[in-house]
Amino acid sequence: MNYILKRIKELADQEGISITALEAAIGASKGVFSRALANGTDIQSKWLVKLIENYPHYSSEWLLTGNGEIKKSDSVKSAAGNDQSGDQPDLTNELIQALRQVISTQEITIRSQEATIDTLKQHIKSLEKAK
């Protein structure tokens, strides 16, 4: 998640605003991003969704994976702007794919942490027996 936080910082820099102002713009509590950046901790996925919703001219793929350009191409923006129904299937599919990637990454992290927890539990048991 650390790389996503760096991209969030880059998005704020591109917008010419502070992390605190970015947090306020998406309705996050003061410190949601800044504490995570300072501590190298994760953020909730709802804040990523809020960023994507509030800053639609930035690529969700770039934000979540680092792949591609930071901003969407003009053709994607104009195609979304020309959609009279208000429904944006291409953007929705892009968001779905990006969120699936986040979920996959989080699942890998969870499995790794579960293995670490199991190892630590075994270590605690062996230390308790040795006592």
What pLDDT digit, counting tens, does each position of 38-77 carry?
Answer: 888 888 888 988 998 888 889 888 988 888 888 887 544 4
Which tokens go with 41? Answer: 């901790």
Rounded mean pLDDT, 67-88? 59
What does the domain layout of the chain look like in residue ranges?
A: 2-130
- Least confident window among 6-15, 19-28, 41-50, 92-101: 92-101
CATH of 2-130, one of 1.25.40, 1.10.8, 1.10.260, 2.40.50: 1.10.260
pTM of the model: 0.56
Cα–Cα dist 55/32, whole Å: 17
Residue 5 reports pLDDT greater than 50: yes
Instruction: Tokens 């930071």: give the residue.
Output: 70
pLDDT at 121: 94
Separation CA 107–CA 15 (nearest Å) = 31
Pair 90, 79: CB distance under 8 Å: yes
